[in-house]
Amino acid sequence: MSENIDWANLSFGYMKTDYNVRCYYRNGAWGEIELSSEESINMHMAATCLHYGQEAFEGLKAFRCKDGKIRIFRMEANAERLQSTCRGILMPELPTEKFCEMIKKVVKMNERFIPPYESGASLYIRPLLIGTGAQVGVRPANEYLFVVFVTPVGPYFKGGFSANPYVVIREFDRSAPLGTGVYKVGGNYAASLLANKKAHDLGYSCEFYLDAKEKKYIDEAGAANFFGIKNNTYITPESTSILPSITNRSLMQLAEDMGMKVERRQIPIEELETMEEAGACGTAAVISPIARIDDLEMNKSYVISKDGKPGPISKMLYDKLRGIQYGDEPDTHNWVTVLD
């Protein structure tokens, strides 16, 4: 175990660990897996990732469990999503087996940085694929680097599971209907920084996006998927500009397991009036309950949680998913890899 880390007060930040793993793509093929203790990457100044945003990333977690084992959540799904991103921005696909082998290796090699079960903290895993080949014209690179590093992160909710206020941002779009919103690429994040800053400047936790074309339907809650709950139904947007969240996919399955109906469809913003609960979901928080969504230009405020507390179904889904991740609940869908 790691001696001097204050597990209880970790934030969502970078901490140096012992190792990262790397794999280079050259001459049309992926090379051997390399173990590195170097934090920096040496690359050509004309690398396509630096100029033309040929860059993709992933995010997943490993957990130290009550039974002493280490569990990694849905890494095959992350491998497949990365492959989809690769097809979207013309990068070579990394095979699932290689991706999983590298994830397991980097977690194992940094075992002393996996927070103890009781802390509620976890090990965040960040895979990164970048075009490293030099190009000046706009073309895909012919060389790539895939790196995976890890960093311990604290529980998302320090003061307990609580609800937050969001603000609809109509003047900026995160992604276009036929753009790169469905891919996990850095460019979408660059496009969101201004909207996010505006939301923070206005005193909100996060920005809330509508579809870019009609500005009528709910898209994403910042860099997280949206879900709402009413009439025993879990409702989440169908859209060509949102990132397919693995957490959302898991919650849909759990909602169905709990006997709820699941709907994936366009959600007009006004429908928030009838939502009994709502939340943002993603790897970082699992569920971040939404207290209120203000649509300032329309002079509307959709209050979801009057007392600022998460709703009972959100809480149930949250507990169930966390339970599976920490091995406290049976893994009936084969989502978890136990490290040996």
Ligand X SMILES: *Cc1c(COP(=O)(O)O)cnc(C)c1O
Shortest distance (Å) from residue 35 CB to ligand X: 26
Q: Which helix (H) or strand (E) holds 36?
A: strand 34-36
Residue (248 or 337) nearer to ligand X, CB: 248
Interface segment toward ligand X; rule CB under 6 A; list 132-140, 149-157, 205-213, 218-226: 218-226
Interface segment toward ligand X; rule CB under 6 A; list 38-46, 241-249, 263-271, 302-310: 241-249
Interface segment toward ligand X; rule CB under 6 A; list 9-17, 135-143, 217-225, 316-324: 217-225
Shortest distance (Å) from residue 142 CB to ligand X: 27
Residue (17 or 250) nearer to ligand X, CB: 250
x/- letters, 277..316, toward ligand X (CB under 6 A) = -----xx---------------------------------
Given a contact cutoff of 8 angstroms between Cβ atoms, the answer to whether 9 and 120 are in contact is no
**Beta-bridge mates of residue 35:** 21
Shortest distance (Å) from residue 224 CB to ligand X: 5
Shortest distance (Å) from residue 250 CB to ligand X: 8
Q: What is the DSSP letter of 252?
A: H
User: For residue 307, what are its two tokens?
Assistant: 């007392």
Shortest distance (Å) from residue 289 CB to ligand X: 16
Q: Per CB under 6 A, which of residues 177..206 are in contact with ligand X?
A: 184
Residue (56 or 313) nearer to ligand X, CB: 56
- Tell me the DSSP string of 175-238: --TTTTTTS-BHHHHHTTHHHHHHHHHTT-SEEEEBPTTTS-BB-BSSSSEEEEEETTEEEEE-
Q: Per CB under 6 A, which of residues 43..72 are in contact with ligand X?
A: 59
Q: Give helix then strand counts, H and E, for the chain.
A: 7, 17
Given a contact cutoff of 8 angstroms between Cβ atoms, the answer to whether 85 and 188 are in contact is no
**Helical H runs in the chain?**
48-51, 75-88, 96-109, 186-190, 193-201, 246-257, 312-325
Binding of ligand X at residue 245 (CB under 6 A)? yes
Binding of ligand X at residue 220 (CB under 6 A)? yes
226 C-beta neighbours (distance < 10 Å), count: 27
Instruction: List all residues 6 or more positions away from 236 whose beta carbon is below 8 Å from its beta carbon.
Output: 225, 226, 227, 228, 248, 252, 262, 263, 264, 267
Binding of ligand X at residue 223 (CB under 6 A)? yes
Binding of ligand X at residue 325 (CB under 6 A)? no
How many residues in the shown chain lie near ligand X by CB under 6 A?
13
Binding of ligand X at residue 224 (CB under 6 A)? yes
What residue type is assigned to position 316 of the chain? M
Residue (63 or 143) nearer to ligand X, CB: 63
* Residues found near ligand X in the complex (CB under 6 A): 59, 184, 220, 223-225, 243, 245-248, 282-283
